[in-house]
Amino acid sequence: MNLCHVCGNAIQLSCSKCPFCGCETEHSTQVAKKEFRHKVVNLESGRPDVETALGRMDVAVEEAVRTGISVLTLIHGYGSSGKGGVIRSECRKNLDFLRSRGRISEFIPGEVFNRKSGSVKTFLRRFPQMSTDKNLNRGNKGITLVVI
């Protein structure tokens, strides 16, 4: 088996195109399939200030990278005002920065974590174990999934 260099799905050695994302497989590499590991981290536990919550997020991401976690679910809450909290928006800004630096692969806001989303379909093909996650199709604005 090879892993597609674009979507990470296992593909047959004889395939010239990935059946999941359609990319050419000539650059695919022979790799053993990595064990799936998922972790949930509650950043809002104890009602922290923004700096404390962001510090928790940084530690969680670093630990996930170090220990081989595949997907991290961050619980940051939506904010008590009903308009979206500061922790939520700052976490996502930091995740965008980490993605631009190559520290994480991608992140999926909880409100778009549904089977109809194209990026989520790709995510679920890569991590089929997440198809039973309780947050799928719930529009949960208080979480973000991080692909390490």
CATH number, domain of 82, equals: 3.30.1370.110
Within this chain, do residues 43 and 65 fall inside the same structural domain, yes or no? Answer: yes
Within this chain, do residues 80 and 10 fall inside the same structural domain, yes or no? Answer: no
- 19-34: average pLDDT: 60
AA identity, residue 70:
S
Distance, in Å, from the CA atom of 96 to the CA atom of 14, rounded to the nearest integer, reads 36
Within this chain, do residues 66 and 91 fall inside the same structural domain, yes or no? Answer: yes
Tokens 């619980």 correspond to 75
pLDDT at 23: 74
pLDDT tens per residue across span 80-135: 655 558 999 999 999 999 999 999 999 999 999 999 999 999 999 999 999 999 99
For the chain, report the end-to-end CA distance as a whole number of angstroms. Answer: 22
pLDDT exceeds 70 at position 26: no
Start-end of H helices in the chain: 50-67, 86-100, 118-126
Within this chain, do residues 14 and 58 fall inside the same structural domain, yes or no? Answer: no
pLDDT exceeds 70 at position 17: yes
Share of the chain above pLDDT 90, in %: 71
pLDDT classification of 29: cutoffs 50, 70, 90: very low
Residue 88 tokens, joined: 């939520």
Distance, in Å, from the CA atom of 132 to the CA atom of 129, rounded to the nearest integer, reads 6
pLDDT exceeds 80 at position 42: yes
DSSP annotation of 41 reads: E
Within this chain, do residues 60 and 14 fall inside the same structural domain, yes or no? Answer: no
Within this chain, do residues 26 and 46 fall inside the same structural domain, yes or no? Answer: no
Domain that includes residue 9, residue range: 1-33
Domains: count for the chain: 2
Distance, in Å, from the CA atom of 148 to the CA atom of 139, rounded to the nearest integer, reads 22
